[in-house]
Amino acid sequence: MEIVTYTTVETFVNHLPEVTWVGSLIKAVLILAVISAIAGFGTFIERKVLAFMQRRLGPMHVGPYGLLQLAADGIKLFTKEDIVPQNANKLIFMIAPAITAATAFIALSAVPVFPDFTIPKFIPVLGGTFVPSIASDLNIGILFVLGMMAAGLYGPLLAGMSQANKWGIIGAARTAIQFLSYEVVTGLSILAPIMLVGSLSFVDFNNAQAGGIGSWLIWQQPVAFVLFLIAGFAETNRTPFDLLEHEAEVVSGYATEYSGMRWGMFFIGEYANMITISVIAAIVFLGGYSEGGLGWLTIILKVGFFFFLMLWVRAAWPHVRPDQLMWLCWKVLMPIAVINVVITGIVMMV
């Protein structure tokens, strides 16, 4: 095995792969295409998993094991009449779903989702182009992704407020409560791992945990991991915190007046956000990509585990009230997170 030693910074930099704008472009298109497909397929997986947990079979009639259910849903969403109700603010009502979906995918541009590869030479125009694992390798990756996901809440907020419907307004107010509650916890819980690694870049986080299972940050930061997971559930509107569109209380919350593809767009954004949170948790706390022998399969397993966990929690737990969410985040999780940061600091200094 050849050991490469770098004598100066310049030679090290020369060994890094270079990304042209074509590579970034291909990567961005890949993200949009593949993650949209996975987000759609996620709805199918969710229905299947929830069904098996309740001893049902789930969708079975369309295609083998109901696999074509996704296509049937797509046709249904495209052909259902798109209704803009009376008295609604038409422009905002129509663009709000696109905001949710767009911000979810812009956040994914700074997250490493697939392996990097070089397009084979024999392909005519694009041959030899290096396609990176991150569309844009930002040095403030985590901050950017969290900020972009926070901006995604404008979707439900504007959607709820643009329709002249009480349920929608209540849904919008709940969106605001949810954001006010979890955002502080997300920031504080991710702070302790950042202190340990000393960087905001996903690549640095991955490389800091390259030494196998023992070097995963979850062993050093179990409290931060649990806090981040809880905040992540709140960020993606998953079940213990699905206040925004809880059928039994607010008819469908912000999505009450939506129909057809405009309604489906919210859920493309939601599932893309679930994937983003899963990837962040896998890279920051569970070691990321480099794991003995399995290579890129490990990240898929980890992300799959988090995705399954979200569905499992939905099947197992009831949801909380808005004031309980506020109580939980401000009076329980935030003090724990601050204490965790301080203790991490003390341990690192001593």
CA 188 to chain centre: 18
CA distance 112 to 110: 7
Question: Shortest CA distance to 187 belongs to which of 150, 136, 241, 237?
Answer: 150
- Which is closer to another protein, CB of 57 or CB of 297? 297
Q: Please work out the total of residues on this chain that contact another protein, with binding judged by CB under 8 A.
A: 101
Q: What is the DSSP string of 218-265?
A: HHH-HHHHHHHHHHHHHHTT-GGG--TT-TTTSSSGGGTT--HHHHHH
Binding flag, residue 341, another protein (CB under 8 A): yes
- Which is closer to another protein, CB of 80 or CB of 319? 80
Binding flag, residue 200, another protein (CB under 8 A): yes
Kindly state the DSSP code that residue 153 receives in the 8-state scheme: T
Helix (H/G/I), strand (E/B), else coil: 287: coil
Q: Min. distance of Cβ 70 from another protein in angstroms?
A: 16
- Which of positions 220-249 make contact with another protein (CB under 8 A)? none
Binding flag, residue 119, another protein (CB under 8 A): no
The contact mask relative to another protein for 156-195 (x = CB under 8 A, - = no) is -----x-xxxxx-xx-xx--xx--xx-xx--xx--xx-xx
- Which of positions 43-102 make contact with another protein (CB under 8 A)? 77-87, 94-95, 97-98, 101-102
- Which is closer to another protein, CB of 227 or CB of 310? 227
Binding flag, residue 38, another protein (CB under 8 A): no
Binding flag, residue 133, another protein (CB under 8 A): yes
- Which is closer to another protein, CB of 168 or CB of 240? 168
CB atoms within 10 A of CB 61: 10
Binding range to another protein, per CB under 8 A, among 56-64, 218-226, 257-265, 310-318 = 257-265
Listed in sequence order, the residues at least 6 apart from 299 whose beta carbon sits closer than 8 Å to its beta carbon are 279, 282, 283, 288, 289
- Which is closer to another protein, CB of 69 or CB of 209? 209
Task: Give the pairing of strands 130-131 and 117-118.
Answer: antiparallel
CB atoms within 10 A of CB 27: 22
- Which is closer to another protein, CB of 57 or CB of 210? 210
- Strand partners for 118: 130
Binding flag, residue 342, another protein (CB under 8 A): yes
Binding flag, residue 134, another protein (CB under 8 A): yes
Helix (H) or strand (E) holding 94: helix 90-108
Q: Min. distance of Cβ 52 from another protein in angstroms?
A: 31
- Which of positions 7-26 make contact with another protein (CB under 8 A)? 13, 16-19, 21, 24-25
